[in-house]
């Protein structure tokens, strides 16, 4: 058994000091959100007395100069006598009573950047009074808040961002790529198309109707808000008749079912230095037709921004914008495939409450561990098979060493390793003169996933390149293929002595690639490598997969990665009962709600979260304290009875097969959609695939199913002078997550759950 950390960590997180860019540190500060200050300066939680609670975001992470706040009023107190002040200025007029009278809700505007104080007072009828204070910290609309210093250079792309009518947002208003907020309308026609609505006062003859999950039948008219936050273009859409009053916190649109879907876009390659020209999509007719509001932003598309920390920050800010404009959603569903699945997993784990449940597709745990390690392995194997080892391995032997279902996946994923190469891929509009080139422009900016996350990883002082949590030292490529007799000893020895690694410029090296210790510690401690034991342990997860392991030409979206996520949940929490896997043939699916299976997943997630909010009150979201969010046990207890692992046959009329999906391919589902290992798993790594740099042990003859001669053992030991991977132990510098809601120093602090 591997010695792993299995317990869910609930203690106050410690401070993480990592070797970050310019000597920055990652910090975790005591929670401020919802704490109430007594007149003497002490802190007490709300206890039935007067209390102030932020609704739109956490108190430390307010942006844009305003925050939606709730005032809880003691029993017997007169709401009309409650006063609220912002930094000494009366703002009571911003508050209105909720039904029932013992709460006030208001949008407090006029916050200054930095620290602010909101104070509520109420007479108690005995000549005294009650007082509560909420301290909030405001940040600019353009950010940053938690992700560290802004990336520079940064290409504004508002002139390329297309709206529903085909026009674009036009030139940016400032160096932060801002545009004026605007509202456009579209409609769904009776022929099944989404069309612009040029005149909101006119009803098209082909306007369709839709019935929402609330049972309301309304015209299929779509309101689309577009603006910028955090240097990203965001969009929010919902059903709304422009003839009705504008929707807001007190006048909800008749077509909105009170629920929010936040969409995340895929990709990663070239996802840096750009604002981006698309969001994760806010016009899906199935989501809108059911009555969901849908939100996303250009920095929530990994093809624009391959950095989950920046994606989490942007999600937080867009949700704040949504809540302040339209009210607190009952719950928020995260929705995304591929690069979108990275965001769903990591935001749910690292910033719990932003997403109440997630539906992920073509999934990976994260980009830093399983994905980048597999890309590195594919790059060096492809280089060996096409170079010094050319002709030494048959096509089937190459496939067996890689573990993939198809040999063609080796060159396919080797090409995907361009995200590790600093001068290969840059986004639309990025000037060639600023691109890094080792020979002609060594001072140019580097286009890699690590350089894009340099705020976390820091830089190599000798080269200025980002430090990397990337390693293949001690990895015995093809070990499983050797032990099962697919390759022979000579092939195994030649491969491992010659495969090498890549340097910081992705050039082949004779030596293996070695991880930077500080970057590796930071990757684990800050959640760039999915832990699974934090917020994800109490988040409903549906992992939908349209099977692509057998795609001609190879494909990166392999079934094994879903099992890697499940393995991490099992290791950290002792179970994965909040994780449901659904699988079908890609010809019947793809991550589109045209798939009946994915439509079922959306319905099942809604049922799951609705059950968790049976009293109708919204889940507390990221603004609320951890204690108010459902526990892991609550989440499992409320899972719909019929929602279990399942697959659907590839027949013309697919048949559902209900069984637990497993990495060892048990049952009928395992035969229909078998999972295959990655090169590192063939080398002996655990299914969790979360070891960046393995701990090593001496070469031991007993570990092999073949008998090496003394000369061959000497050759093997010379190939691995520091030893071979000991996969029974945690990796070097591997550590638990340092806590949730972390922030880098350009954001002035973070609260830990």
In whole angstroms, what is the distance from residue 422 CA to residue 269 CA? 11
Residue 339, φ and ψ in degrees, nearest 5: -60, -25
In whole angstroms, what is the distance from residue 91 CA to residue 33 CA? 20
Q: Under 8 Å CB-to-CB from 659, ≥6 apart: which residues?
A: 645, 646, 647, 666, 667, 668, 669
Q: Is residue 15 predicted with pLDDT exceeding 80? A: no
Tell me what the pLDDT averaged over the chain comes to.
Answer: 92
Token pair listed for 680:
């590192």
pLDDT of residue 453: 98
Token pair listed for 432:
């060639």
Q: Under 8 Å CB-to-CB from 297, ≥6 apart: which residues?
A: 229, 230, 232, 233, 234, 235, 279, 280, 314, 315, 318
- To 10 degrees, the CA torsion angle through 596, 545, 287, 641? 70
Cα-to-chain-centroid distance, residue 511: 33
Cα-to-chain-centroid distance, residue 247: 29
In whole angstroms, what is the distance from residue 506 CA to residue 468 CA? 12
Q: Is residue 460 predicted with pLDDT exceeding 50? A: yes
**Tens-place pLDDT, residues 302-315:** 999 999 999 999 99
In whole angstroms, what is the distance from residue 162 CA to residue 64 CA? 25
CA angle 252, 253, 259 (to 5 degrees): 75
Q: Under 8 Å CB-to-CB from 701, ≥6 apart: which residues?
A: 707, 708, 713
In whole angstroms, what is the distance from residue 169 CA to residue 180 CA? 9
Residue 367, φ and ψ in degrees, nearest 5: -85, -25
Percent of all residues in the chain with a pLDDT value above 70, rounded to a whole number = 92
Q: Give the burial class of 239: count Cβ atoms within 10 A of its Cβ; 0-12 exposed, 13-18 middle, 19 or more buried.
A: buried
Quick one: pLDDT band at residue 297, thresholds 50, 70, 90? very high
Q: Under 8 Å CB-to-CB from 628, ≥6 apart: which residues?
A: 620
pLDDT of residue 746: 72
Among positive and negative, which fits the CA dihedral 195, 201, 207, 213? Answer: positive
Task: Report the b/e string of 653-670 with b at 16+ CB within 10 A.
Answer: ebeebeeebebeeeeebb
- Give the pLDDT mean for 449-468: 96
Q: Is residue 43 predicted with pLDDT exceeding 60? A: no
* Residue 480 neighbours by CB distance under 10 Å: 20
Q: Is residue 47 predicted with pLDDT exceeding 80? A: no
In whole angstroms, what is the distance from residue 501 CA to residue 660 CA? 38
Considering only CA atoms, which of 176, 280, 291 is closest in space to residue 222? 291
As a whole number of Å, the CA-based R_g of the chain is 27
Percent of all residues in the chain with a pLDDT value above 90, rounded to a whole number = 86
pLDDT of residue 125: 64
- Give the pLDDT mean for 94-102: 86
Map residue 546 onto helix, strand or coil.
Answer: strand
Residues 623 and 607: beta-carbon distance below 8 Å:
no
- Give the pLDDT mean for 650-674: 97
Considering only CA atoms, which of 460, 496, 456, 450 is closest in space to residue 477? 496
pLDDT of residue 327: 93
Considering only CA atoms, which of 676, 678, 684, 686 is closest in space to residue 474? 684
Token pair listed for 582:
């659904």
Map residue 69 onto helix, strand or coil.
Answer: strand
Residues 336 and 301: beta-carbon distance below 8 Å:
no
Token pair listed for 591:
């991550």
* Residue 172 neighbours by CB distance under 10 Å: 18
Token pair listed for 411:
């060159």
pLDDT of residue 386: 97
Q: Give the burial class of 489: count Cβ atoms within 10 A of its Cβ; 0-12 exposed, 13-18 middle, 19 or more buried.
A: middle
pLDDT of residue 264: 98
In whole angstroms, what is the distance from residue 684 CA to residue 678 CA? 10
pLDDT of residue 48: 66
Residues 640 and 618: beta-carbon distance below 8 Å:
no
**Tens-place pLDDT, residues 613-658:** 988 788 887 777 777 889 999 999 999 999 999 999 999 999 999 9
What does DSSP say about strands 332-337 and 357-361: parallel, antiparallel, or unpaired?
parallel
**Tens-place pLDDT, residues 514-556:** 999 999 999 999 999 999 999 999 999 999 999 999 999 999 9
**Tens-place pLDDT, residues 583-622:** 999 999 899 999 999 999 999 999 999 999 988 788 887 7
* Residue 714 neighbours by CB distance under 10 Å: 12
- To 10 degrees, the CA torsion angle through 446, 447, 451, 455? 100
**Tens-place pLDDT, residues 114-133:** 999 999 999 876 667 899 99
pLDDT of residue 124: 73
- Give the pLDDT mean for 60-80: 93
Q: Is residue 1 predicted with pLDDT exceeding 60? A: no
Residues 110 and 119: beta-carbon distance below 8 Å:
no
Domains and their CATH numbers in the chain:
51-139 (2.60.40.10), 158-329 (no CATH), 369-427+468-526+689-725 (no CATH), 536-680 (no CATH)
Residues 417 and 379: beta-carbon distance below 8 Å:
yes
DSSP secondary structure code for residue 50 in this structure: S
Q: Under 8 Å CB-to-CB from 552, ≥6 apart: which residues?
A: 406, 408
Q: Is residue 10 predicted with pLDDT exceeding 50? A: no
Map residue 432 onto helix, strand or coil.
Answer: helix
Cα-to-chain-centroid distance, residue 182: 27
**Tens-place pLDDT, residues 326-366:** 999 999 999 999 999 999 999 999 999 999 999 999 999 99
Residues 207 and 189: beta-carbon distance below 8 Å:
yes
What does DSSP say about strands 357-361 and 501-502: parallel, antiparallel, or unpaired?
unpaired
Residue 316, φ and ψ in degrees, nearest 5: -60, -45
**Tens-place pLDDT, residues 251-270:** 889 999 999 999 999 999 99
pLDDT of residue 102: 84
């Amino acid at each position: 058994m591997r010695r792993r950390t299995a317990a869910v960590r609930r203690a106050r997180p410690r401070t993480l000091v990592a070797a970050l860019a310019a000597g920055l540190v990652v910090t975790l500060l005591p929670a401020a959100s919802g704490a109430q200050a007594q007149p003497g300066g002490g802190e007490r939680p709300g206890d039935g007395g007067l209390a102030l609670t932020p609704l739109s975001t956490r108190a430390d992470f307010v942006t844009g100069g305003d925050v939606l706040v709730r005032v809880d009023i003691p029993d017997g107190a007169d709401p009309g006598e409650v006063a609220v002040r912002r930094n000494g200025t009366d703002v009571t007029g911003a508050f209105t009573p909720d039904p029932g009278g013992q709460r006030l809700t208001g949008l407090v505007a006029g916050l200054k950047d930095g620290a602010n104080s909101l104070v509520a007072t109420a007479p108690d009828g005995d000549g005294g009074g009650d007082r509560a204070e909420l301290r909030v910290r405001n940040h600019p609309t353009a950010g940053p808040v938690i992700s560290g210093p802004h990336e520079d250079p940064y290409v504004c792309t508002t002139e390329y961002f297309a709206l529903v009518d085909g026009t674009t947002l036009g030139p940016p208003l400032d160096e932060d790529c801002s545009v004026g907020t605007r509202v456009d309308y579209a409609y769904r026609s009776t022929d099944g198309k989404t069309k612009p609505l040029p005149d909101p006062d006119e009803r098209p003859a082909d306007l369709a109707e839709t019935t929402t999950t609330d049972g309301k039948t309304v015209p299929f008219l779509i309101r689309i808000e577009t603006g910028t936050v955090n240097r990203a273009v965001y969009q929010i859409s919902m059903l709304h008749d422009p003839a009705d009053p504008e929707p807001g916190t007190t006048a909800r649109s008749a077509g909105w079912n009170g629920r929010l879907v936040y969409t995340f876009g895929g990709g990663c390659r070239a996802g840096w230095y750009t604002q981006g020209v698309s969001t994760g999509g806010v016009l899906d007719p199935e989501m809108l037709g059911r009555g969901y509001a849908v939100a996303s932003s250009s920095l929530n598309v990994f093809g624009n921004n391959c950095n989950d920390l920046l994606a989490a920050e942007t999600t937080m800010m867009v949700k704040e914008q949504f809540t302040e404009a339209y009210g607190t959603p009952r719950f928020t569903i995260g929705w995304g495939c591929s690069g979108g699945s990275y965001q769903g997993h990591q935001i749910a784990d690292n910033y719990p409450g932003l997403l109440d449940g997630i539906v992920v597709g073509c999934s990976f745990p994260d980009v830093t561990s399983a994905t980048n390690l597999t890309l590195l392995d594919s790059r060096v194997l492809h280089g060996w098979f096409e170079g010094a080892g050319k002709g030494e391995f048959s096509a089937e032997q190459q496939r067996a060493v890689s573990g993939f279902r198809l040999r063609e996946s080796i060159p396919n994923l080797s090409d995907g390793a361009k995200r590790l190469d600093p001068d290969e891929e840059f986004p639309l509009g990025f000037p060639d003169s600023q691109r890094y080139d080792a020979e002609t422009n060594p001072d140019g900016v580097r286009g890699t996933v690590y350089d894009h996350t340099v705020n976390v990883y820091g830089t190599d002082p000798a080269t200025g390149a980002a430090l990397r949590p990337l390693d293949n030292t001690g990895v015995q490529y093809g070990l499983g293929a050797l032990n099962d007799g697919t390759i022979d000893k000579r092939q195994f020895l030649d491969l491992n002595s010659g495969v090498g690694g890549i340097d910081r410029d992705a050039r082949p090296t004779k030596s293996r690639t070695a991880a930077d210790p500080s970057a590796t510690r930071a990757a684990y401690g800050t959640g760039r490598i999915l832990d699974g034991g934090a917020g994800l342990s109490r988040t409903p997860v549906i992992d939908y997969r349209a099977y692509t392991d057998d795609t001609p030409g190879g494909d990166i979206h392999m079934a094994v990665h879903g099992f890697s996520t499940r393995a991490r949940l099992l290791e950290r929490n002792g179970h994965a009962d909040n994780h449901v896997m659904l699988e079908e043939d890609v010809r019947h699916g793809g991550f589109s709600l045209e798939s009946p299976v994915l439509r079922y997943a959306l319905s099942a997630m809604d049922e799951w979260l609705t059950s968790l909010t049976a009293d109708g009150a919204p889940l507390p979201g990221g603004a609320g304290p951890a204690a108010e969010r459902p526990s892991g046990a609550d989440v499992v207890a409320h899972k719909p009875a019929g929602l279990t692992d399942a697959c659907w046959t590839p027949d013309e009329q697919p048949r559902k097969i209900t069984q637990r999906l497993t990495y060892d391919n048990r049952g009928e589902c395992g035969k229909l959609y078998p999972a295959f290992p990655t090169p590192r798993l063939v080398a002996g790594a655990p299914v969790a695939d979360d070891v960046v740099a393995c701990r090593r042990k001496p070469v031991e003859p007993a570990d092999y199913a073949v008998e090496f001669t003394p000369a061959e053992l000497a050759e093997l030991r010379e190939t691995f002078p520091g030893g071979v991977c000991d996969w029974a132990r945690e990796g070097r510098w591997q550590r638990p997550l340092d806590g949730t809601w972390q922030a880098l120093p350009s954001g002035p602090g973070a609260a830990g759950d």
